[in-house]
Amino acid sequence: MSTLDNIKNKRSNDSFDRLIFEQKLRVKTLFIDKDLDVLLILFNTGNILKGRLSDYPKLKRATKKQLTDWRLIKDGIGIRWESLDEDLSIKGFIKTVALNQALRNLKGHNDDELVLA
């Protein structure tokens, strides 16, 4: 068995990587509402994860037209906005949403100065 085979057959210790690369979690589509500061990702599992555009400075500053100009990359493990030169990975999105939600909950209200992008 070659070294490459050993690498391919090794399970990741990272739960996000297992979810994405072993269980094949993929973005199916996304919905954006700039006025409501909402970014919804619909996954191939039927699950939806809600984030805020304001958690991503380039997306927050983008026009509505620029926000609609996206495409899936890497077989659906990421999203690309060419005109904004912005990429968003599933792993990064999940982590950002979870972290920012936890910070907002700990603070007890929606304090934007705590938000990490």
pTM over 0.85: no
Model confidence at 75: pLDDT above 80: yes
Which pLDDT score, from 0 to 100, does residue 110 have?
A: 52
CATH number of the domain to which 75 belongs? 3.30.2020.40
Which pLDDT score, from 0 to 100, does residue 10 have?
A: 67
For residue range 9-54, list pLDDT tens digits in order.
Answer: 667 888 989 999 999 999 999 999 999 999 999 999 999 999 999 9
Q: What's the number of domains the chain is made of?
A: 1
Domain span at 35 = 3-114
Report d(CA 102, CA 104) in Å as an integer. 5
Rg of the chain, C-alpha, whole Å: 16
From the centroid of its chain, how far is CA 96?
A: 8
Using pLDDT thresholds of 50, 70 and 90, give the confidence band for residue 114.
very low
Model confidence at 108: pLDDT above 80: no
